[in-house]
Structure 1
Protein backbone atom coordinates (compact mmCIF):
# COMPACT_ATOMS: atom_id res chain seq x y z
CA UNK A 1 0.00 0.00 0.00
CA UNK A 2 1.46 3.35 -0.98
CA UNK A 3 1.55 6.41 1.24
CA UNK A 4 -1.33 7.95 -0.69
CA UNK A 5 -3.47 4.90 0.00
CA UNK A 6 -2.92 4.91 3.76
CA UNK A 7 -6.15 5.48 5.69
CA UNK A 8 -6.49 8.88 7.31
CA UNK A 9 -5.98 8.71 11.05
CA UNK A 10 -7.14 11.60 13.21
CA UNK A 11 -4.15 13.21 14.90
CA UNK A 12 -4.12 15.37 18.02
CA UNK A 13 -1.36 17.43 19.61
CA UNK A 14 0.14 15.80 22.70
CA UNK A 15 -1.07 18.77 24.76
CA UNK A 16 -4.63 18.42 23.44
CA UNK A 17 -6.89 16.43 25.76
CA UNK A 18 -8.76 14.99 22.77
CA UNK A 19 -5.80 12.71 22.21
CA UNK A 20 -6.79 10.91 25.42
CA UNK A 21 -9.45 9.06 23.44
CA UNK A 22 -9.52 6.96 20.30
CA UNK A 23 -11.37 8.71 17.43
CA UNK A 24 -14.36 6.38 17.77
CA UNK A 25 -14.49 6.97 21.53
CA UNK A 26 -14.37 10.74 21.14
CA UNK A 27 -17.13 10.66 18.53
CA UNK A 28 -19.26 8.49 20.81
CA UNK A 29 -18.74 10.80 23.79
CA UNK A 30 -19.66 13.89 21.76
CA UNK A 31 -22.88 12.27 20.62
CA UNK A 32 -23.96 10.25 23.64
CA UNK A 33 -23.23 12.68 26.49
CA UNK A 34 -25.91 15.17 25.31
CA UNK A 35 -28.30 12.27 24.70
CA UNK A 36 -27.80 10.98 28.26
CA UNK A 37 -28.41 14.44 29.72
CA UNK A 38 -31.51 14.95 27.59
CA UNK A 39 -32.96 11.56 28.53
CA UNK A 40 -32.41 12.19 32.22
CA UNK A 41 -33.95 15.65 31.99
CA UNK A 42 -37.07 14.23 30.37
CA UNK A 43 -37.35 11.58 33.11
CA UNK A 44 -36.61 13.97 35.98
CA UNK A 45 -39.12 16.54 34.74
CA UNK A 46 -41.77 13.88 35.42
CA UNK A 47 -40.36 13.07 38.87
CA UNK A 48 -42.67 11.54 41.49
CA UNK A 49 -45.45 10.91 38.94
CA UNK A 50 -43.89 8.93 36.10
CA UNK A 51 -40.09 8.99 36.43
CA UNK A 52 -39.74 5.50 34.93
CA UNK A 53 -36.28 5.04 36.42
CA UNK A 54 -34.60 1.65 35.81
CA UNK A 55 -34.03 1.24 39.57
CA UNK A 56 -37.45 2.47 40.58
CA UNK A 57 -36.14 5.79 41.99
CA UNK A 58 -38.52 8.71 42.13
CA UNK A 59 -36.25 11.61 43.05
CA UNK A 60 -37.12 15.27 42.92
CA UNK A 61 -35.64 17.14 39.99
CA UNK A 62 -32.13 18.02 41.23
CA UNK A 63 -31.32 14.61 42.69
CA UNK A 64 -32.99 12.92 39.75
CA UNK A 65 -30.67 14.66 37.31
CA UNK A 66 -27.54 13.98 39.39
CA UNK A 67 -28.22 10.25 39.49
CA UNK A 68 -30.07 9.89 36.21
CA UNK A 69 -27.41 11.31 33.89
CA UNK A 70 -24.78 8.92 35.19
CA UNK A 71 -27.16 5.97 34.76
CA UNK A 72 -27.91 6.98 31.19
CA UNK A 73 -24.19 7.42 30.47
CA UNK A 74 -23.42 3.92 31.70
CA UNK A 75 -26.05 2.50 29.37
CA UNK A 76 -24.96 4.50 26.34
CA UNK A 77 -21.18 4.06 26.78
CA UNK A 78 -21.09 0.42 27.86
CA UNK A 79 -20.40 -0.86 24.33
CA UNK A 80 -17.08 0.98 24.07
CA UNK A 81 -14.12 -1.47 24.24
CA UNK A 82 -12.30 0.54 26.93
CA UNK A 83 -15.40 1.09 29.08
CA UNK A 84 -15.38 -0.11 32.69
CA UNK A 85 -17.20 0.79 35.87
CA UNK A 86 -16.83 0.29 39.61
CA UNK A 87 -19.05 0.90 42.61
CA UNK A 88 -17.90 3.10 45.47
CA UNK A 89 -18.31 1.16 48.72
CA UNK A 90 -21.14 2.23 51.07
CA UNK A 91 -22.69 4.46 48.38
CA UNK A 92 -25.06 4.10 45.44
CA UNK A 93 -22.70 5.86 43.03
CA UNK A 94 -21.04 3.98 40.20
CA UNK A 95 -17.79 5.26 38.71
CA UNK A 96 -17.68 5.33 34.91
CA UNK A 97 -14.36 4.94 33.11
CA UNK A 98 -13.44 5.19 29.44
CA UNK A 99 -9.81 4.22 28.97
CA UNK A 100 -7.71 6.18 31.46
CA UNK A 101 -10.42 8.75 32.13
CA UNK A 102 -13.10 9.01 34.80
CA UNK A 103 -16.33 10.43 33.31
CA UNK A 104 -18.11 12.31 36.10
CA UNK A 105 -21.21 14.29 35.08
CA UNK A 106 -22.06 17.50 36.95
CA UNK A 107 -25.11 19.78 36.85
CA UNK A 108 -24.14 23.41 37.53
CA UNK A 109 -27.63 24.80 38.13
CA UNK A 110 -30.33 26.55 36.15
CA UNK A 111 -27.88 28.65 34.13
CA UNK A 112 -24.30 28.18 32.99
CA UNK A 113 -22.01 30.65 34.79
CA UNK A 114 -20.52 33.42 32.64
CA UNK A 115 -17.07 32.06 33.51
CA UNK A 116 -17.80 28.53 32.31
CA UNK A 117 -14.17 27.50 32.82
CA UNK A 118 -14.53 27.70 36.59
CA UNK A 119 -17.65 26.39 38.35
CA UNK A 120 -18.35 26.39 42.08
CA UNK A 121 -19.71 23.17 43.58
CA UNK A 122 -22.61 23.80 45.95
CA UNK A 123 -22.41 20.28 47.42
CA UNK A 124 -19.08 18.57 48.09
CA UNK A 125 -18.95 15.83 50.74
CA UNK A 126 -15.57 14.56 51.92
CA UNK A 127 -15.74 11.31 49.96
CA UNK A 128 -16.44 13.15 46.71
CA UNK A 129 -13.71 15.69 47.42
CA UNK A 130 -11.25 12.85 47.81
CA UNK A 131 -12.42 11.20 44.60
CA UNK A 132 -12.15 14.39 42.54
CA UNK A 133 -8.81 15.34 44.08
CA UNK A 134 -7.21 11.98 43.27
CA UNK A 135 -8.28 12.13 39.65
CA UNK A 136 -7.95 15.89 39.02
CA UNK A 137 -6.44 16.88 35.69
CA UNK A 138 -2.72 17.60 35.84
CA UNK A 139 -1.91 17.07 32.16
CA UNK A 140 -3.87 19.46 29.98
CA UNK A 141 -4.08 22.76 31.86
CA UNK A 142 -2.63 25.87 30.27
CA UNK A 143 0.65 26.92 31.97
CA UNK A 144 -0.07 29.37 34.75
CA UNK A 145 -3.83 29.13 34.36
CA UNK A 146 -4.39 27.23 37.60
CA UNK A 147 -2.32 26.91 40.73
CA UNK A 148 -1.38 23.23 40.80
CA UNK A 149 -0.07 23.42 44.37
CA UNK A 150 -3.58 24.27 45.58
CA UNK A 151 -4.71 20.85 44.45
CA UNK A 152 -1.70 18.65 45.02
CA UNK A 153 -0.24 20.12 48.21
CA UNK A 154 -3.13 21.95 49.87
CA UNK A 155 -4.62 20.87 53.17
CA UNK A 156 -7.06 18.03 52.65
CA UNK A 157 -9.89 17.19 55.07
CA UNK A 158 -9.73 13.98 57.04
CA UNK A 159 -10.64 11.08 54.81
CA UNK A 160 -13.47 8.74 55.75
CA UNK A 161 -12.07 6.07 53.47
CA UNK A 162 -10.15 5.81 50.26
CA UNK A 163 -12.88 6.10 47.64
CA UNK A 164 -10.64 4.59 44.98
CA UNK A 165 -8.94 1.84 46.96
CA UNK A 166 -11.06 -0.80 45.24
CA UNK A 167 -10.33 0.47 41.72
CA UNK A 168 -7.28 -0.72 39.82
CA UNK A 169 -6.20 2.61 38.40
CA UNK A 170 -4.53 2.40 35.03
CA UNK A 171 -1.10 3.76 34.23
CA UNK A 172 -0.78 6.57 33.30
CA UNK A 173 -2.79 8.28 36.00
CA UNK A 174 -6.56 8.35 35.61
CA UNK A 175 -7.75 11.82 34.58
CA UNK A 176 -11.04 13.41 35.60
CA UNK A 177 -13.28 14.44 32.68
CA UNK A 178 -16.53 16.23 33.43
CA UNK A 179 -19.60 16.68 31.24
CA UNK A 180 -21.20 19.72 32.90
CA UNK A 181 -24.48 21.35 32.01
CA UNK A 182 -27.27 23.69 33.07
CA UNK A 183 -30.89 22.58 33.14
CA UNK A 184 -34.38 23.17 34.51
CA UNK A 185 -37.49 20.97 34.46
CA UNK A 186 -38.39 22.78 31.24
CA UNK A 187 -35.24 21.84 29.34
CA UNK A 188 -31.46 21.46 29.08
CA UNK A 189 -29.26 24.51 28.60
CA UNK A 190 -25.58 24.61 27.70
CA UNK A 191 -23.42 21.45 27.80
CA UNK A 192 -19.60 21.38 28.00
CA UNK A 193 -17.08 18.57 28.22
CA UNK A 194 -13.47 18.93 29.40
CA UNK A 195 -10.75 17.63 31.72
CA UNK A 196 -11.35 19.04 35.19
CA UNK A 197 -9.40 19.87 38.31
CA UNK A 198 -10.73 20.38 41.82
CA UNK A 199 -9.43 23.56 43.44
CA UNK A 200 -11.06 24.19 46.81
CA UNK A 201 -14.80 24.13 46.07
CA UNK A 202 -14.30 24.89 42.38
CA UNK A 203 -13.97 22.68 39.34
CA UNK A 204 -11.64 24.28 36.79
CA UNK A 205 -11.72 23.16 33.17
CA UNK A 206 -9.06 23.13 30.45
CA UNK A 207 -10.26 23.97 26.92
CA UNK A 208 -13.96 23.06 27.37
CA UNK A 209 -15.72 21.77 24.27
CA UNK A 210 -19.37 22.66 23.81
CA UNK A 211 -21.65 19.74 22.98
CA UNK A 212 -25.07 19.91 21.35
CA UNK A 213 -28.01 17.54 21.43
CA UNK A 214 -29.40 16.41 18.11
CA UNK A 215 -32.75 14.71 18.25
CA UNK A 216 -32.84 11.55 16.14
CA UNK A 217 -35.73 11.74 13.66
CA UNK A 218 -38.29 8.97 13.82
CA UNK A 219 -37.70 6.24 11.23
CA UNK A 220 -41.45 5.57 10.91
CA UNK A 221 -43.65 8.40 9.75
CA UNK A 222 -46.95 8.79 11.54
CA UNK A 223 -49.95 8.01 9.34
CA UNK A 224 -51.44 11.12 7.86
CA UNK A 225 -55.20 11.53 8.07
CA UNK A 226 -56.64 13.02 4.89
CA UNK A 227 -59.50 15.40 5.61
CA UNK A 228 -62.36 15.61 3.15
CA UNK A 229 -62.93 19.08 1.70
CA UNK A 230 -65.79 21.00 3.24
CA UNK A 231 -68.74 21.13 0.79
CA UNK A 232 -70.25 24.43 -0.21
CA UNK A 233 -73.90 25.49 0.24
CA UNK A 234 -76.48 23.45 -1.76
CA UNK A 235 -73.89 20.85 -2.76
CA UNK A 236 -73.67 17.16 -2.20
CA UNK A 237 -76.02 14.27 -2.84
CA UNK A 238 -79.73 14.83 -2.31
CA UNK A 239 -81.98 12.09 -0.88
CA UNK A 240 -84.06 10.40 -3.57
CA UNK A 241 -87.68 9.24 -3.09
CA UNK A 242 -88.96 5.96 -4.45
CA UNK A 243 -90.83 5.74 -7.80
CA UNK A 244 -94.06 4.56 -6.16
CA UNK A 245 -94.04 7.49 -3.75
CA UNK A 246 -93.58 9.97 -6.62
CA UNK A 247 -96.42 8.39 -8.60
CA UNK A 248 -98.75 8.54 -5.58
CA UNK A 249 -98.03 12.20 -5.08
CA UNK A 250 -98.77 12.91 -8.80
CA UNK A 251 -102.13 11.15 -8.59
CA UNK A 252 -103.09 13.11 -5.48
CA UNK A 253 -102.22 16.42 -7.12
CA UNK A 254 -104.24 15.53 -10.32
CA UNK A 255 -107.42 14.55 -8.48
Structure 2
Protein backbone atom coordinates (compact mmCIF):
# COMPACT_ATOMS: atom_id res chain seq x y z
CA UNK A 1 0.00 0.00 0.00
CA UNK A 2 1.36 3.42 -0.89
CA UNK A 3 2.09 5.58 2.15
CA UNK A 4 0.31 8.86 2.57
CA UNK A 5 3.63 10.73 2.68
CA UNK A 6 5.54 8.88 -0.02
CA UNK A 7 8.64 10.93 -0.75
CA UNK A 8 8.89 12.74 -4.07
CA UNK A 9 12.21 13.40 -5.75
CA UNK A 10 12.82 17.15 -5.47
CA UNK A 11 14.95 17.11 -8.63
CA UNK A 12 11.74 16.79 -10.62
CA UNK A 13 10.91 20.39 -9.73
CA UNK A 14 13.72 21.60 -12.00
CA UNK A 15 14.38 21.18 -15.70
CA UNK A 16 17.58 19.51 -16.90
CA UNK A 17 18.99 22.95 -17.76
CA UNK A 18 18.19 24.28 -14.29
CA UNK A 19 19.72 21.27 -12.53
CA UNK A 20 22.87 21.60 -14.62
CA UNK A 21 23.12 25.29 -13.73
CA UNK A 22 22.64 24.54 -10.02
CA UNK A 23 25.30 21.83 -9.99
CA UNK A 24 27.87 23.74 -12.04
CA UNK A 25 27.23 27.44 -11.44
CA UNK A 26 26.37 27.51 -7.73
CA UNK A 27 29.79 26.06 -6.70
CA UNK A 28 31.45 28.70 -8.87
CA UNK A 29 29.35 31.42 -7.23
CA UNK A 30 30.45 30.25 -3.78
CA UNK A 31 34.09 30.04 -4.84
CA UNK A 32 34.06 33.50 -6.42
CA UNK A 33 32.52 35.05 -3.32
CA UNK A 34 35.07 33.31 -1.08
CA UNK A 35 37.90 34.71 -3.17
CA UNK A 36 36.45 38.22 -2.97
CA UNK A 37 35.87 38.01 0.79
CA UNK A 38 39.35 36.64 1.45
CA UNK A 39 40.91 39.80 -0.01
CA UNK A 40 38.17 42.19 1.11
CA UNK A 41 40.46 44.60 2.94
CA UNK A 42 42.53 45.35 -0.15
CA UNK A 43 40.71 44.60 -3.41
CA UNK A 44 37.22 43.19 -2.86
CA UNK A 45 36.15 44.56 -6.26
CA UNK A 46 32.44 44.19 -5.56
CA UNK A 47 30.21 45.45 -8.41
CA UNK A 48 28.13 47.44 -5.89
CA UNK A 49 31.16 48.91 -4.14
CA UNK A 50 30.61 46.95 -0.92
CA UNK A 51 33.63 46.18 1.24
CA UNK A 52 32.25 43.24 3.22
CA UNK A 53 34.50 40.71 4.91
CA UNK A 54 33.73 37.31 6.33
CA UNK A 55 30.34 36.54 7.85
CA UNK A 56 27.58 38.68 6.38
CA UNK A 57 29.85 39.71 3.52
CA UNK A 58 30.37 36.12 2.40
CA UNK A 59 26.63 35.40 2.46
CA UNK A 60 25.69 38.51 0.52
CA UNK A 61 28.50 37.90 -1.94
CA UNK A 62 27.35 34.36 -2.73
CA UNK A 63 23.83 35.56 -3.41
CA UNK A 64 25.13 38.26 -5.76
CA UNK A 65 27.20 35.73 -7.67
CA UNK A 66 24.29 33.26 -7.88
CA UNK A 67 22.03 35.99 -9.27
CA UNK A 68 24.62 36.83 -11.90
CA UNK A 69 25.26 33.22 -12.97
CA UNK A 70 21.62 32.04 -13.04
CA UNK A 71 20.01 35.16 -14.51
CA UNK A 72 19.94 33.77 -18.07
CA UNK A 73 17.57 30.91 -17.13
CA UNK A 74 14.03 31.48 -18.37
CA UNK A 75 12.54 30.59 -14.96
CA UNK A 76 14.78 33.02 -13.09
CA UNK A 77 13.21 35.94 -11.25
CA UNK A 78 14.08 38.06 -8.26
CA UNK A 79 12.25 40.29 -5.78
CA UNK A 80 13.52 43.04 -3.53
CA UNK A 81 12.36 42.72 0.07
CA UNK A 82 10.89 46.10 1.13
CA UNK A 83 13.10 48.17 3.47
CA UNK A 84 15.90 45.61 3.21
CA UNK A 85 19.14 44.97 1.31
CA UNK A 86 17.95 41.43 0.65
CA UNK A 87 17.00 40.43 -2.88
CA UNK A 88 15.22 37.08 -3.09
CA UNK A 89 16.25 34.75 -5.90
CA UNK A 90 13.81 32.31 -7.51
CA UNK A 91 13.91 29.54 -10.08
CA UNK A 92 10.26 28.99 -10.87
CA UNK A 93 8.58 28.15 -7.56
CA UNK A 94 11.90 27.51 -5.78
CA UNK A 95 13.39 30.14 -3.48
CA UNK A 96 17.19 29.74 -3.69
CA UNK A 97 18.66 31.03 -0.43
CA UNK A 98 22.43 30.41 0.08
CA UNK A 99 23.71 29.77 3.61
CA UNK A 100 27.22 29.62 5.06
CA UNK A 101 27.27 27.17 7.99
CA UNK A 102 30.70 28.10 9.38
CA UNK A 103 34.32 27.08 8.95
CA UNK A 104 33.46 23.37 8.84
CA UNK A 105 30.47 21.31 7.78
CA UNK A 106 28.82 19.58 10.78
CA UNK A 107 28.96 15.79 10.82
CA UNK A 108 25.18 15.66 10.51
CA UNK A 109 24.92 17.69 7.33
CA UNK A 110 21.18 17.09 7.07
CA UNK A 111 20.37 19.21 10.14
CA UNK A 112 22.05 22.60 10.57
CA UNK A 113 21.61 24.92 13.55
CA UNK A 114 21.08 28.57 12.64
CA UNK A 115 23.16 30.76 14.94
CA UNK A 116 21.69 33.91 13.39
CA UNK A 117 17.95 33.94 12.75
CA UNK A 118 16.26 37.37 12.79
CA UNK A 119 12.47 37.49 12.83
CA UNK A 120 12.20 38.47 9.17
CA UNK A 121 14.25 35.48 8.06
CA UNK A 122 12.38 33.13 10.38
CA UNK A 123 9.08 34.19 8.83
CA UNK A 124 10.47 33.80 5.33
CA UNK A 125 11.70 30.28 6.10
CA UNK A 126 8.45 29.31 7.80
CA UNK A 127 6.40 30.50 4.83
CA UNK A 128 8.54 28.59 2.31
CA UNK A 129 9.61 25.52 4.35
CA UNK A 130 9.73 22.27 2.42
CA UNK A 131 6.59 20.17 2.89
CA UNK A 132 6.67 18.27 -0.43
CA UNK A 133 9.96 16.37 -0.41
CA UNK A 134 10.13 14.71 2.99
CA UNK A 135 11.33 11.25 3.96
CA UNK A 136 8.51 9.56 5.86
CA UNK A 137 8.92 10.13 9.59
CA UNK A 138 12.27 11.87 9.22
CA UNK A 139 11.33 15.41 10.22
CA UNK A 140 8.43 14.98 12.61
CA UNK A 141 8.01 18.17 14.61
CA UNK A 142 7.26 18.08 18.32
CA UNK A 143 4.69 20.79 18.76
CA UNK A 144 4.46 22.03 22.32
CA UNK A 145 0.99 22.93 23.55
CA UNK A 146 0.66 26.64 24.02
CA UNK A 147 3.99 27.36 22.27
CA UNK A 148 4.44 31.02 21.47
CA UNK A 149 3.58 31.85 17.89
CA UNK A 150 5.68 34.62 16.43
CA UNK A 151 3.85 37.47 14.74
CA UNK A 152 3.75 37.27 10.97
CA UNK A 153 5.88 39.81 9.16
CA UNK A 154 3.76 41.19 6.36
CA UNK A 155 6.57 42.24 4.03
CA UNK A 156 8.22 38.81 3.81
CA UNK A 157 4.91 37.02 3.36
CA UNK A 158 3.80 39.39 0.63
CA UNK A 159 6.98 38.89 -1.36
CA UNK A 160 6.85 35.09 -1.44
CA UNK A 161 3.10 34.87 -2.05
CA UNK A 162 2.96 37.11 -5.10
CA UNK A 163 3.41 34.22 -7.54
CA UNK A 164 0.08 32.67 -6.51
CA UNK A 165 1.60 29.20 -5.88
CA UNK A 166 3.45 27.93 -2.85
CA UNK A 167 7.17 28.57 -2.96
CA UNK A 168 9.58 25.92 -1.62
CA UNK A 169 12.83 26.85 0.11
CA UNK A 170 15.98 25.40 -1.48
CA UNK A 171 19.33 26.07 0.17
CA UNK A 172 22.84 25.86 -1.25
CA UNK A 173 24.76 25.49 2.04
CA UNK A 174 28.50 25.35 2.47
CA UNK A 175 31.45 25.72 4.85
CA UNK A 176 34.28 28.15 4.18
CA UNK A 177 37.14 30.12 5.67
CA UNK A 178 39.47 32.79 4.27
CA UNK A 179 41.72 29.91 3.19
CA UNK A 180 39.11 28.21 0.99
CA UNK A 181 35.69 26.65 0.48
CA UNK A 182 34.88 23.37 2.20
CA UNK A 183 31.89 21.08 1.63
CA UNK A 184 28.86 22.24 -0.37
CA UNK A 185 25.33 20.82 -0.62
CA UNK A 186 22.02 21.74 -2.25
CA UNK A 187 18.62 20.55 -0.98
CA UNK A 188 15.07 21.55 -0.06
CA UNK A 189 14.96 22.82 3.52
CA UNK A 190 12.47 22.88 6.35
CA UNK A 191 12.68 25.14 9.40
CA UNK A 192 12.32 23.38 12.76
CA UNK A 193 12.90 25.77 15.63
CA UNK A 194 16.42 27.09 15.12
CA UNK A 195 17.37 24.25 12.76
CA UNK A 196 17.13 23.82 9.02
CA UNK A 197 16.49 20.19 8.06
CA UNK A 198 17.39 19.03 4.57
CA UNK A 199 15.85 16.25 2.50
CA UNK A 200 18.12 14.14 0.25
CA UNK A 201 20.93 16.71 -0.24
CA UNK A 202 23.01 16.77 -3.43
CA UNK A 203 26.71 17.32 -2.81
CA UNK A 204 28.14 20.07 -5.01
CA UNK A 205 31.71 20.05 -6.27
CA UNK A 206 33.89 22.83 -7.56
CA UNK A 207 36.19 21.92 -10.46
CA UNK A 208 38.94 24.10 -11.84
CA UNK A 209 39.67 23.93 -15.55
CA UNK A 210 43.28 23.95 -16.64
CA UNK A 211 44.26 27.33 -18.09
CA UNK A 212 44.12 27.56 -21.90
CA UNK A 213 42.44 24.16 -22.21
CA UNK A 214 39.77 23.78 -24.87
CA UNK A 215 36.13 23.34 -23.77
CA UNK A 216 35.42 19.73 -22.82
CA UNK A 217 38.98 19.09 -21.69
CA UNK A 218 39.62 16.94 -18.63
CA UNK A 219 39.47 18.96 -15.46
CA UNK A 220 42.57 19.30 -13.33
CA UNK A 221 42.75 17.12 -10.24
CA UNK A 222 43.51 18.98 -7.03
CA UNK A 223 46.44 17.35 -5.25
CA UNK A 224 45.88 15.98 -1.80
CA UNK A 225 48.07 16.29 1.25
CA UNK A 226 51.66 15.03 0.69
CA UNK A 227 51.00 14.10 -2.95
CA UNK A 228 53.82 14.24 -5.49
CA UNK A 229 57.10 12.57 -6.31
CA UNK A 230 59.52 12.06 -3.47
CA UNK A 231 63.29 11.89 -3.87
CA UNK A 232 64.90 8.50 -3.48
CA UNK A 233 67.60 8.24 -0.81
CA UNK A 234 70.16 5.59 -0.03
CA UNK A 235 69.41 3.52 3.03
CA UNK A 236 72.24 3.66 5.56
CA UNK A 237 72.59 1.78 8.80
CA UNK A 238 73.13 3.86 11.89
CA UNK A 239 76.55 3.05 13.42
CA UNK A 240 76.42 1.22 16.71
CA UNK A 241 77.60 3.22 19.71
CA UNK A 242 81.14 2.44 20.85
CA UNK A 243 81.11 0.05 23.76
CA UNK A 244 82.69 1.36 26.93
CA UNK A 245 85.81 -0.62 27.77
CA UNK A 246 86.61 -1.66 31.28
CA UNK A 247 89.57 0.09 32.65
Bigger-Rg structure (1/2): 1
- TM-score, structure 1 length as denominator? 0.77
SS at match of 1:178: strand
Q: Find the counterpart in structure 1 of residue 179 from structure 2.
A: 186
Q: Hey, what's the Cα distance between the residues in 2 that align with 1:164 and 1:47? A: 34
TM-score (norm 2): 0.79
Q: How many residues align?
A: 208
Cα separation, 2, equivalents of 1:54 and 1:198: 32
Aligned residue number for residue 19 of structure 1: 12
Residue of structure 2 in register with 1:71 after alignment: 64
Say whether 1:50 aligns with 2:37: no
User: Which among 90, 105, 108 is matched to residue 101 of structure 2?
Assistant: 108
Q: Gaps (5+ residues) in structure 2?
A: 1-5, 215-247
Q: Deviations over 1:211-231 (max 9, x none)?
A: 00011333379xxxxxxxxxx
Structure 1 distance, partners of 2:129, 2:25, is: 23
Question: Which residue does 1:232 correspond to in 2?
Answer: none
SS of alignment partner, residue 85 of structure 2? coil
The separation in 2 between residues aligned to 1:129 and 1:203, in whole angstroms, is 11
1:33-87 CA-partner distances (Å, limit 9, x unpaired): 1000000000000112111111111112112111000000000000000000001
For 2:149 and 2:23, locate their aligned partners in 1 and report how far apart those are by CA, in whole Å: 34
CA distance in 1, matches of 2:17, 2:38: 32
**2:160, 2:167 within 8 Å by CA — same for their partners in 1?**
no
Whether the 8 Å CA contact 1:69–1:105 is kept in 2: the answer is: yes
2:126 equivalent to 1:133: yes
Q: Secondary structure at the match of 2:89?
A: strand
State the Cα RMSD in Å.
2.1
**Deviation >6 Å, runs of 4+:** none
